Amino acid sequence: MVKWDSVWIALKSVFRNGKVEDELNEEVSFHLEMQTRHNIEKGMDPETAKKKALKSFGGAEKTKEDCRDGWGLRLLSDTRRDTAYGIRQLMKDKGFAIVSVVTLGIGIGACASMFSLVNAVLLKPLPFEDPERLVWIQSAKAMGLSAQTHTVDNFKEFRDENNSFESMGAYFAFFDYGAYIHADERGNMIARVRCAGITEGFIETLGIKLALGRNFEGSEWAFNGPPSVILSHSYWKSHFNSDRGVVGTNISINGRPTNVVGVLPASFDFDSVFTPGTEVEMLVPFPLSEETNRYGNTIFGIGRLKEGVSVEAGGANLKLVSDRIKERLGSQHRRFHHHMNTESLDDRIRGPFRTAFYVLSVAVGCVLAIACVNIANLLIARSNGRRKEFSLRAALGAQRWRLIRQTLVESLILSGWGLALGLGLAYVATNWISGLQAFSIPMIQNVSIDGYAIGFVVLIAGVTGLGCGIFPALQFSRSAPFEALGDESQRGSSGRRTVWLRKGLVVTEVALSCLLLVCAGLLIRSFDRLLDVDLGFEPSNAIAWRVDGGREFESYQERANYYEALLDSIEALPGIEVAGIADTLPLGRNRQWGIVPRMNDGERGPGTGAFPRVVNHSYAEAMGIEVLAGRFFNAFETSESESVIVLNKNLADQLWKGDDPLGKTVFVNGRFEAKVVGVVSDVKHNSLDAAPSNEMYLNFHQIGDFMAAEMVVRSKLSTELLISTVRKGLQEYTGRPPSNEFKTLQSLVDHSVAPERLFKDVLSAFSLVALVLAAVGLYGVIAYSVGQRVREIGIRLAIGASPGRIRSMILTEGVWMTAIGITIGLLGAYGFSRYLSGMLYEVSTTDPFIFALNASVVAGIAILAAFLPARQASKGDPNEALRVE
């Protein structure tokens, strides 16, 4: 049973200790006085009565201690006194305190930032109801979206004929190809927005509860049904000022009144989960109709498993459904240009990033460990100077636990201050990370210092404080009092144990820093190799600007003419060399179409898939793509002229096995024939580390399969001047302010390698911090060793030892510690580097150059750290050294 009176007194003793002690003194004095009076009444003289009262009472101080123990105050009171004493001691040595707090702050801040990042991206449940029951449903695990997605009819049959899923939904994978203009009542553009199409059942399957309004319903799901949208939470806040009354009103999208039926919750942004790096402002209905089925493979499916059904069982069930439909319709039916691949939604979204983030977590753990080792070394050195204090306290009766507690309390104080600094650093870091839109990492925008992060980092700070203080606490609490009180105590066994402990800790620091530096070196070299690849286009001196017609066109020829006139107006601007246009750019989201060659005998040969680019005749020049054979499109080709096509080298080689492709005919996507007029260099598509892929270029006068487009403008003007010039030209041509969706071609490359750059930069930063901390630790140990050997060095110098000999003697100590640490670190890097294999490009995990280079860097820095105290010792005056001793 809880004694609430004791609890109340214990709490008061912490916050109102003086008053509690006064009350205790008054109570003891009262009882002594009453006992003394009682003795006097029995006939004793006052002095004898008081002595008798004290004797029967057992001593006033002893009684007070018993009361404190009964209230549970002793530990609280002692801890409070130890804390106050520890703060006073640390304030006397401000340099030590500042170095320790900054060191721990960096380590704890790095830990807090990394935990927040890992928690948001990998650990937190997906923002859906029962996310473990959600399954990702796609076709082939290929690069192009057309190969990965399903047709509407396939999806409907998977949904209706399975017996493992309680519901299914899907979204339109090619939403980024459309153009949506949000305008005000006067028709002035507010913003060009991205609207992702979702099917009936999508929101219910995910288990999303809208913040406001409702889901789409009824005729809104029909093809060309009443226009309606659901706003993302961020767009609702930024463009509607969080107005709850917007639901049920009409806004203008592409010139049509569109009903706002709902607002998504703040916990779910479509893009942060499904299309990171590509912001989606609105959701629109995507009908499962005959018209959308003609689009071909266009949708990604998501299913919710029934209770008790595993992901594997659900996937097997869908495979059976697919096989039954295939058997019914025949394998050559166009609906079966697909496969069935399923995995948990969590693995689909987070799987590609798990290894990289776990590697970074290990790295930040190493940094924190090195910081702890450094603080432990500093505490040991500081405790050495307090040997006589500890021994005197022990000689006066202080228990070993009390001495250990005092050291641990001081260590925990440092850790608490480091926690405050670390949380501040982590807050700045996570705010910066969450604001990054360039990274295609899921849910990175949700990174924050939340309650989980604070709880974790407080735990880490506590463990860190105990870890830093436990070695010096145990080391000096067990010293015999007479050892430290003697003048030669530092040469005793306890002193030797301390030296070996500090050397062991430094070896650990060197080993961990070497391991991190080697791993960072592998990533840096891989990243450099990645940036050196041949892109197939020239990213410098060019920008891309998202443009659209701002209206409906009666034919794709009218649309093409509009864009051609736009390009002519831009090319006429001063400083502009060339402007081209395409439906989509490299290193982005790519669809895939089928292409089949006509052989010399007139029969169709084996076909394949290729990325289609719908472009104008100046696109290749604007992008800096080299024409290897034949020609690119010309300005005279129209919808009335012969259909022509340009292939990249990889596709031409695959279709004709080295034969000349010029003049040959191909069948494109089962829709039309085209004559090959040119071959261009291979261009990188989904990523820089991917092998060359197939690509075909189609003339946008002859195929109108696009709405909005990317205009590429090349110029020798500075980027700022080029943007200003193009912005003015677009406004003059369209009569309205242009969108702000522009980027340099170099930013396409930067966006593509953003995750690799992030991992490389973070690991490099951790490695450099670790190296600096290790160097400081080594310097501290050697400097402390020199300080302990002042008399020895003075004697050696006095009897004729040269300064060089002294330097060599001290340097040898540092070299041995460094050599052992580097050896252990290289062995650790050899074992750990295999986890980096999936993150490296054209670099071996055991690259001897990287291992040797970084081992040399660690050795050089460590030897420099050892040389400084060695040099100082060799310059000392032997007489002064002996006098000091």
The pLDDT of residue 628 is 94
Q: Please give the distance of CA 300 from its chain centroid, rounded to a whole number.
A: 26
The pLDDT of residue 489 is 44
Dihedral of CA 684/687/689/695: which sign? negative
Dihedral of CA 658/662/663/667: which sign? positive
Tokens 């070497």 correspond to what residue?
A: 514
The pLDDT of residue 478 is 56
Alpha helices (H) in 537-681, listed in sequence order? 556-571, 619-623, 649-656
Question: Exposed, middle or buried: residue 838 (CB in 10 Å: 0-12, 13-18, 19+)?
Answer: exposed
Q: Nearest CA to 652 among 595, 592, 601? A: 595
User: Cβ neighbours of residue 671 under 8 Å, at least 6 residues apart?
Assistant: none
The pLDDT of residue 838 is 78
The rounded distance, in Å, linking the Cα atoms of 181 and 704 is: 20
The rounded distance, in Å, linking the Cα atoms of 101 and 422 is: 9
Cβ–Cβ under 8 Å, residues 505 and 373: yes
The rounded distance, in Å, linking the Cα atoms of 269 and 260 is: 17
- pTM given for the model: 0.74
The rounded distance, in Å, linking the Cα atoms of 509 and 521 is: 18
The rounded distance, in Å, linking the Cα atoms of 403 and 390 is: 7
Instruction: Report DSSP letters for 283-327, one per residue.
Output: EEE---SHHHHTT-S-EEEEEEEPTT--HHHHHHHHHHHHHHHHH
Taking CA 630 as the corner, what is the angle to CA 628 and CA 635, rounded to the nearest 5 degrees? 115
Successive 10-residue mean pLDDT values, the chain, 885 residues: 48 52 66 74 75 66 56 59 75 77 83 85 87 91 76 91 93 83 80 90 94 94 94 93 93 91 92 84 94 88 94 92 80 62 90 83 82 76 63 59 72 85 86 67 79 84 76 58 49 56 79 86 85 88 84 76 90 93 82 82 79 91 94 88 92 87 88 90 84 89 77 92 92 81 87 79 81 76 67 70 76 84 90 82 87 88 80 65 52
Half-sphere exposure of 726 (CA within 13 A, CB side): 32
Q: Which amino acid is at 834?
A: R
Instruction: Report DSSP letters for 803-827, one per residue.
Output: HHHHHHHHHHHHHHHHHHHHHHHHH
Domain ranges of the chain: 4-72, 140-339, 353-531+754-883, 549-738
The pLDDT of residue 709 is 83
Helix (H) or strand (E) holding 593: strand 593-597
Give the pairing of strands 282-285 and 195-198: parallel
Tokens 């009144």 correspond to what residue?
A: 257
The pLDDT of residue 16 is 47
What length does the chain have?
A: 885
Contacts 24+ apart (CB under 8 A), 416-419: 416/461, 416/465, 417/97, 417/101, 417/104, 417/105, 418/100, 418/101, 418/102, 418/103, 418/104, 418/105, 418/107, 418/108, 418/461, 418/464, 419/104, 419/105, 419/108, 419/457, 419/458, 419/461
Taking CA 641 as the corner, what is the angle to CA 636 and CA 646, rounded to the nearest 5 degrees? 75
Encode burial over 308-344: b for 16+ CB neighbours within 10 A, e otherwise: ebebeebbebbeebbeebeeeeeeeeebbbbebbbbb
Q: Nearest CA to 709 among 518, 876, 564? A: 564
Cβ–Cβ under 8 Å, residues 595 and 609: yes
The pLDDT of residue 170 is 95
The pLDDT of residue 337 is 58
Tokens 């005279």 correspond to what residue?
A: 636
The pLDDT of residue 517 is 86
Q: How many CB atoms lie within 10 A of CB 789?
A: 17
